[in-house]
Structure 1
Amino acid sequence: MRLEAPPASTEAYDGRSPFPHTEQHLGGVPARQAALTAAIVVAPFIALGAGIWLAWGEGITLTDLLLALVFYVVTGLGVTVGFHRLLTHRSFTARPWLRVTLAVAGSMSFQGNLIDWVAVHRRHHAFTDQPGDPHSPHRYGTGPGGQLRGLAHAHLGWLFTSEPTSAARYAPDLLRNDPAMLRVSRAFPALCAISLLLPFAAGWAISGGLYGGLTAFIWAGLVRVALLQHVTWSVNSLCHMIGERPHRTRGHDRSTDLWPLALLSFGESWHNGHHSLPSLARHGRGPRRIDPSAAVIKLFERLNWATDVHWLPPDALQHRRTVAGKRTLRGTT
């Protein structure tokens, strides 16, 4: 894996200006890699159009909807509980079989191999919304034009820039000391294929025909992938642009809590809560902060499949919200 150039110094960054040297990273991605990334992004949208055409006048079958829901939940929780809270932030310790299961489920989401995913996310936390952050929407400054351009970069454009993240630097624990995760990471292409073949096989078996397999492939396969991808990318983009900031974060961090995405993202859109204390198993802190990923981790803990879970003590929640409230009143957030 390539090593990225050291990020520009953040000491002089004022929080408003464009990041230095951003233009030099535009493009420069090897043609084969760019073509593969584009295919992963574009193909699900083509499939959406095909699905609408096939369903025109007939509707979408209950089988397609149920299969799409099942695969969305399984692969989505693989990303949020597995890739993110377990492997990136080590919010809990999982039994070896559960660790592998979550890693496999997350790999079936078409969001990259798990070691690169973890490395990029850890780098994002190290340089949140300042030079060095691989997908900050504030990359091009805080003016209207820069914000629109930055939003597009944070949502999707960063996948096509020549700023590789070093797994050796940001994920050495997985790269060097975790053979099981290394094997799952290397199996990423095969797991993506399985992620599409399973809905096809299930749809064919349930409907008893090729047409049922094809529609399941489209809706529970490609369209499901597209929805989950864009929900995840929206946490990178929208959850650093709009929403509430009830919790204190460091430096130039502009992470927000965005409630409309809470259910679809399995609690990941409580992003300000996450950035305030990244190692916690629960991101949605406080009343009405629905966090399905945390509920799943709680279930794992009760089944004794997960241990050493990092929960926030109740008194700490009240203290941090009080501090954040005072900062808001003083106009310092």
Structure 2
Amino acid sequence: MTTMPSTETGLRPVPEAQPAREAPADATRGGERASLLQRFAIGIFIVVPFAALVAAVPVAWGWGIGWHEIAIATVMYFLTCHGVTVGYHRLFTHSSFRPKRPLRIALAVAGSLAVEGPIVRWVADHRKHHKFSDREGDPHSPWRYGETVPALLRGLWWAHMGWLFDEEQTPQAQYAPDLVKDRAIHWISRQFFAFTLVSLLLPPLVGGLWSWSWQGAVTAFFWGSLVRIALLHHVTWSINSICHAVGSRPFRSRDRSGNVWWLAILSCGESWHNLHHADPTSARHGVLRGQIDSSARLIRWFEQLGLATDVRWPTQDRLAMKRREPGSKAGRPSAA
């Protein structure tokens, strides 16, 4: 029987999931515990782009930013953002639609270019998050340390990026066995470092050829690689932290997921997080009037082109069932 939330942790203890059979040697990258080298690499890929993001304002003020850099950074941002939201998240994690094989591969590659981790690792972590959302076992709940202001500030840091350095890793064979068995997707997952290099080098290649200068390559690398990666990282992590701490909650969910409107465009529709946790397999997250969800629009286009079938669009009856009663308030996360 599940106990009430601890005043010390703020999270509900839940029974541990049954351990899966031992995974093949190549089922994970580095085993079930992150090595010191892996955590060091994560730190490098967080600190360096973030430093560029911080420097972006004075660089733009002092030297300006050209249309080439704006175009390259914008295209790369939304290409990789949708690779994560449509590919990693709505397709591979939640099976919100069934794509043709070429589209499936393309979305896996586009998501890998976001430099948010190998696809199998990302999906395993996110499925575990949904299983234990805002309860004990959630990899990145902002309520991890309790509900006081100091505890929540500490939890927000953990949910945003601290959890990335946790030595303990989600068992991929247990939470993403379908992707471990998919040879093509598993291969893409294991080539994450190669896709990271492509993501870093493609913008300066385009910028250099477009301007036919080394300066064009350097500025494209700064804006289209470093700043773009850092911005997308922090927008994605904000879904874990901000969208589980604040926001409107028009739908009933078992956790504290909320809708944060000002993140909607940059997150490609992911910040309509309350409906997502109320109905995780829905292909559309922004279901109310005025809620922009570019990921759902892209899935609709794939469907119209015959590239996607069995799309799980929300129906009015289903949304009515998920609606929170007028005047009711979102409470503590309930037991699974």
Normalising by the residue count of structure 2, what TM-score does the alignment of the two structures yield? 0.88
Distance in 2 separating the partners of 1:97 and 1:138: 40
Q: Which residue in 1 is equivalent to 2:5?
A: 14
For residue 61 of structure 1, the aligned residue among 59, 66, 80 is 66
In the alignment, structure 1 residue 43 sits paired with structure 2 residue 48: yes
**Deviations for 1:30-84, whole angstroms, at most 9, x for unmatched residues?**
3212210110100102233555565553310110011000000100000000000
Pair 239,53 (structure 1): closer, same or farther in 2 beyond 3 Å: closer
Q: Which residue in 2 is equivalent to 1:247?
A: 251
In the alignment, structure 1 residue 293 sits paired with structure 2 residue 295: yes
For residue 72 of structure 1, the aligned residue among 70, 74, 77 is 77
Pair 219,241 (structure 1): closer, same or farther in 2 beyond 3 Å: same
Q: CA deviation at 1:184?
A: 0.7
Q: Which residue in 2 is equivalent to 1:309?
A: 311
What is the identity, as a one-letter code, of the residue corresponding to 1:183?
A: W
% identity of equivalent residues: 47
Q: CA deviation at 1:218?
A: 0.8
SS at match of 2:62: coil
Q: Which residue in 2 is equivalent to 1:5?
A: none
Distance in 1 separating the partners of 2:143 and 2:331: 19
Pair 66,330 (structure 1): closer, same or farther in 2 beyond 3 Å: closer
Normalising by the residue count of structure 1, what TM-score does the alignment of the two structures yield? 0.89
Q: Which residue in 1 is equivalent to 2:28?
A: none
Q: CA deviation at 1:314?
A: 2.0
What is the identity, as a one-letter code, of the residue corresponding to 1:256?
A: G
In the alignment, structure 1 residue 169 sits paired with structure 2 residue 174: yes
Pair 172,34 (structure 1): closer, same or farther in 2 beyond 3 Å: same
The residue correspondences of 1:101-140 to structure 2 (distance < 5 A) are: 101-140=106-145
Whether the 8 Å contact between 1:88 and 1:122 is mirrored in structure 2 is yes
Q: Which residue in 2 is equivalent to 1:201?
A: 205
**Deviations for 1:92-126, whole angstroms, at most 9, x for unmatched residues?**
00011000001000001110000000000000000
**Deviations for 1:166-206, whole angstroms, at most 9, x for unmatched residues?**
00110001102x11101110111000100011101000011
Q: CA deviation at 1:13?
A: 3.8
SS at match of 1:211: helix
Pair 317,95 (structure 1): closer, same or farther in 2 beyond 3 Å: same
Whether the 8 Å contact between 1:13 and 1:130 is mirrored in structure 2 is no
Q: Which residue in 1 is equivalent to 2:26?
A: none
**Deviations for 1:15-39, whole angstroms, at most 9, x for unmatched residues?**
6540599xxxxxx953212210110
Q: Which residue in 2 is equivalent to 1:25?
A: none
Whether the 8 Å contact between 1:48 and 1:218 is mirrored in structure 2 is no
Q: CA deviation at 1:289?
A: 1.3
In the alignment, structure 1 residue 226 sits paired with structure 2 residue 230: yes
Distance in 2 separating the partners of 1:93 and 1:195: 26
Which stretches in structure 1 are left out of the alignment for 5+ residues? 1-9, 22-27
In the alignment, structure 1 residue 329 sits paired with structure 2 residue 333: no
The residue correspondences of 1:259-270 to structure 2 (distance < 5 A) are: 259-270=261-272
SS at match of 2:283: coil
**Deviations for 1:132-155, whole angstroms, at most 9, x for unmatched residues?**
000000000011111000000000
Distance in 2 separating the partners of 1:118 and 1:16: 30
Q: CA deviation at 1:329?
A: 3.2
Whether the 8 Å contact between 1:134 and 1:163 is mirrored in structure 2 is no
Pair 80,260 (structure 1): closer, same or farther in 2 beyond 3 Å: same
Point out 4+ residue stretches in structure 1 off by more than 6 angstroms. none
**Deviations for 1:219-251, whole angstroms, at most 9, x for unmatched residues?**
00010000000000000000000101110012x
Distance in 1 separating the partners of 2:302 and 2:2: 42
Whether the 8 Å contact between 2:276 and 2:282 is mirrored in structure 1 is yes
What is the identity, as a one-letter code, of the residue corresponding to 1:182?
A: H
In the alignment, structure 1 residue 34 sits paired with structure 2 residue 52: no
Distance in 1 separating the partners of 2:149 and 2:330: 22
SS at match of 2:135: coil
Distance in 2 separating the partners of 1:56 and 1:268: 31
For residue 155 of structure 1, the aligned residue among 157, 160, 177 is 160
Q: How many residues align?
A: 312
